[in-house]
Amino acid sequence: MNKKRTTLKDIANVLSISTAAVSKALNDDTRISVKTKKAVRQVAKELNYQPNHLASALRKGKSKLVGVIVPRTNSHFFSSVVESMEGVLNKAGYNIIITQSNESFEKECNNIDTLLYLQVDGIIASMANETVDLSYYEKIKSNGIPLILFDRGENDLNVDYVGINDYDSSHMIIAHLVAQGCKRIAHIGGYRRTRIFNNRIRGYIDAIKKHDLPHDDELLIESSLTLEDGRQQIEKLLALKNRPDAVYVASDYAALGALQVLKEKNIKVPEEIKLVGFGNEPFTSLVTPSITSISQHSDKIGKLAAETFLGYVDQDVIVQSLNKIILDSELIVRSSSE
Binding residues vs DNA (CB under 7 A) = 4-5, 7-9, 16-21, 23-24, 26-27, 29, 31-33, 35-36, 49, 51-52, 55-56, 58-61
Nearest-angstrom CA–CA distance, 311 and 149: 14
Query: Which of residues 36, 104, 119, 224 is near a second copy by CB under 8 A?
Result: 119
**Which one of a second copy, DNA, none is in contact with 31 (Cβ closer than 5 to 8 A by kind)?**
DNA
The β-bridge partners of 124 are: 68, 148
**Which one of DNA, a second copy, none is in contact with 316 (Cβ closer than 5 to 8 A by kind)?**
a second copy
Residue 20 beta carbon to DNA: minimum distance, rounded to whole angstroms: 3
Residue 195 beta carbon to DNA: minimum distance, rounded to whole angstroms: 36
| DSSP designation for 122 | E
Nearest-angstrom CA–CA distance, 261 and 240: 15
Query: Which of residues 27, 33, 42, 52 is near a second copy by CB under 8 A?
Result: 52
Determine the distance from the C-alpha atom of residue 327 to the mean position of all C-alpha atoms in its chain, rounded to a whole number.
14
Told to check if 317 binds a second copy by CB under 8 A, we report yes
Q: Vertex 209, ends 205 and 214: CA angle to 5°?
A: 90
Told to check if 228 binds a second copy by CB under 8 A, we report no
Nearer to DNA, 39 or 238 (CB): 39
Nearer to DNA, 59 or 241 (CB): 59
Residue 4 beta carbon to a second copy: minimum distance, rounded to whole angstroms: 8
Whether the CB-CB separation of 293 and 281 falls below 8 Å is answered with: yes
> Which of these segments, 121-129, 136-144, 268-276, 299-307, binds a second copy (CB under 8 A)?
136-144
Going 231 to 232 to 234 to 240, the CA torsion angle's sign is positive
Q: Kindly tell me the burial class for residue 33, based on how many C-beta atoms sit within 10 Å of its own C-beta (0-12, 13-18, 19 or more).
A: exposed
Q: Vertex 128, ends 146 and 220: CA angle to 5°?
A: 130
Told to check if 101 binds a second copy by CB under 8 A, we report no
Q: Which residues of the chain form beta strands (DSSP E)?
A: 65-70, 95-100, 122-125, 147-150, 160-164, 185-189, 220-222, 246-249, 274-276, 293-295, 324-327, 330-332
Nearer to a second copy, 27 or 73 (CB): 73
Query: Which of residues 11, 85, 256, 294 is near a second copy by CB under 8 A?
Result: 256
Nearest-angstrom CA–CA distance, 171 and 203: 6
Which residue from 136, 203, 194 is spatially nearest to 169, judged by alpha carbons?
203
Residue 86 beta carbon to DNA: minimum distance, rounded to whole angstroms: 23
Nearer to DNA, 19 or 110 (CB): 19
**Which one of a second copy, DNA, none is in contact with 29 (Cβ closer than 5 to 8 A by kind)?**
DNA
Whether the CB-CB separation of 326 and 301 falls below 8 Å is answered with: no
Residues binding a second copy (CB under 8 A): 1-5, 48, 50-55, 57-58, 63, 65, 72-74, 76, 79-80, 82-83, 86, 95, 97-98, 100, 102, 114, 116-119, 139, 142-144, 256, 260, 263, 283, 286-288, 316-319
